[in-house]
Amino acid sequence: MKNNKLFKILMSGTLCIAAVVGSVFGLVACGNKNDDSSQKSAYKPIIDDIIGEADNENGVGDVDYDIGNTPNIKLMAVKKAAANGSIEESELEVTATITPENATNKAVDWSVAFQNASSAWASGKNVSDYVTVTPDSDGSLKATVKNIKAFGEKIVVTVTSRANAAVKATIVCDYNRKVTAISSANLAKGGASVAFNNIVIGGLGNTSDSAAYTIGHTSAFSDYTVAGTEKITSKIKFNDAFVDGVKTLLATEYKTVWEDCMRTASAVDKTAYDFSTMAGLMLTKDNSTAIKNKLTEDVLNACMVAVDSWIKANPTTAFATVTVKSDMLNASNVSYQDISKDFSLMFAASGHYIPVTGVTVTPGTIVW
């Protein structure tokens, strides 16, 4: 079951607001979920203070709070279904309820404005470029609130009674910061940046290396009123051309352990890789004791020679794909957006170090 988030209800005069709890489109009154795997959205409600919680597995629903003894207007917001039956990410249907039920004139007016129109971000901007509110008809108790694009100043939707202008209700809308693109990424080793096409294996090595490669990146962000926290992780997949190519260069007794290392299931999320040594490379996806025990000196030396030969024969062919993933987290460390980008890894054309593993001399004896 998803963790449904908490809402603030703002009051003006005597009123009550009920808001949707669940996914949010960016206008943080409520929202929708985009199932696109490259940019999954589950934007959570962030309407200032907390006064209640709803539990709804599907993330769609409303919560009614009794605030004050004589509420005059109640607001309820639900995701708006499109004509084709899908849920529009950017639109909410908002319904106002006038009390008492038998009030003579129930007509209302809807408006939208920046909370602080003179702020550095909002100054000179038109609020309707970011959020609009459209009543179903003149004076209607129903309206559609639509988020057009990201904004950097809180926006307030207000519904006001025509019969009594002092009676009104408001919804404060925030926008969660979102990653618009992972614009670049690289690897870092020993404090220096390493290009994705310049990976060097430094020797046979051991099961760990202090100079592992760590992932670096640059993200571009939307405007926002709520910053969120970005978390970067990555996964690696060794390309078939590399795995198969090296395998063909190995003696029969080394082929199985090579495949055991390089064809295992995708690694868990990682932020660093030990490509610095042959052992580090072969333990990238599975560093279990069972695999480590297979990496004898003979195995590592044979694989290193085969990898070096493959590199020289395929100097511009990627050996792996790293998927860099950016997750945006809310204050509860729950992801409300993720976006991924693939980067190809290539070995440097030269500079790999194949260590000396033994020496012999003949003849073994000399007699004068």
Comparing CA positions, the residue from 281, 322, 327, 355 lying closest to residue 195 is: 322
Give 194-207 pLDDT, tens digit per residue: 778 778 776 665 44
98's enclosing H/E stretch is strand 87-98
CA distance 15 to 67: 7
Distance CA 19, CA 169 (A): 12
d(CA 269, CA 273): 11
pLDDT at residue 6 tops 60: no
Give the burial class of 177: count Cβ atoms within 10 A of its Cβ; 0-12 exposed, 13-18 middle, 19 or more buried: buried
Looking at residue 4, its pLDDT comes to 30
Least confident of 296-305, 310-319, 358-367: 358-367
Task: Give the pair of three-digit tokens for residue 273.
Answer: 């890789």
Express each pLDDT in 61-95 by its tens digit. Answer: 232 222 222 357 777 766 665 555 544 557 888 89
> How far is Cα 135 from Cα 238, in angstroms, rounded to an integer?
55
CA 28 to chain centre: 17
Helices first, then strands: H and E counts in the chain: 5, 21
Residue-wise pLDDT for 222-253, tens only, equals: 999 999 999 988 888 899 999 999 999 999 99
| pLDDT one-digit tens code per residue, 152-175 | 999 999 999 999 999 999 988 999
Q: Is the CB of residue 167 less than 8 Å from the CB of residue 73?
A: yes
More confident residue, 78 or 132: 132
CA distance 59 to 205: 50
Q: What pLDDT shows up at residue 113? A: 97
Q: Is the peptide bond before 100 cis (omega within 30 degrees of 0)?
A: yes
pLDDT, residue 57, reads 30
DSSP label at 128?
G
3-class secondary structure, 106: coil
Residue 115: count other Cβ atoms within 10 Å of its Cβ: 16
Is the model's pLDDT at 35 over the cut of 90?
A: no
Share of the chain above pLDDT 70, in %: 71
Which of residues 324 and 349 earns the better pLDDT score?
Answer: 324
pLDDT attached to residue 248: 96
Residue 57 region, left (φ>0) first, then alpha (ψ -120 to 50), else beta? alpha
190: left (phi over 0), alpha (psi -120 to 50) or beta: left
pLDDT mean across residues, the chain: 75
Rounded mean pLDDT, 300-307: 91
pLDDT at residue number 326: 92
Q: With contact defined as beta carbons under 8 Å apart, do 10 and 167 qualify?
A: no
Q: How confident is the model at residue 50 (pLDDT cuts 50, 70, 90)?
A: very low
User: What is the pLDDT confidence band of residue 216, given thresholds at 50, 70 and 90?
Assistant: confident
Which helix (H) or strand (E) is 244 found in, with range? helix 240-249
On the question of pLDDT at 27 being above 60, the answer is no
Phi, psi for residue 345 in degrees, rounded to 5: -105, 135
DSSP class of 347: B
**Cα–Cα dist 43/53, whole Å:** 16
Location of structure tokens 């033994």: 358
Nearest C-alpha neighbor of 64 from the set 7, 18, 8: 18
User: How sure is the predictor about 184, in pLDDT bands with cuts at 50, 70 and 90?
Assistant: confident
CB 267 within 8 A of CB 281: no
Look at residue 257 in the predicted model and tell me its pLDDT: 93
Residue with tokens 């100043």: 153
The pLDDT score that the predictor gives to residue 200 is 73
Instruction: Find out whether 305 and 354 touch, Cβ atoms under 8 Å.
Output: yes
Owner of token pair 């919804």 = 171
Q: What is the pLDDT of residue 211?
A: 60
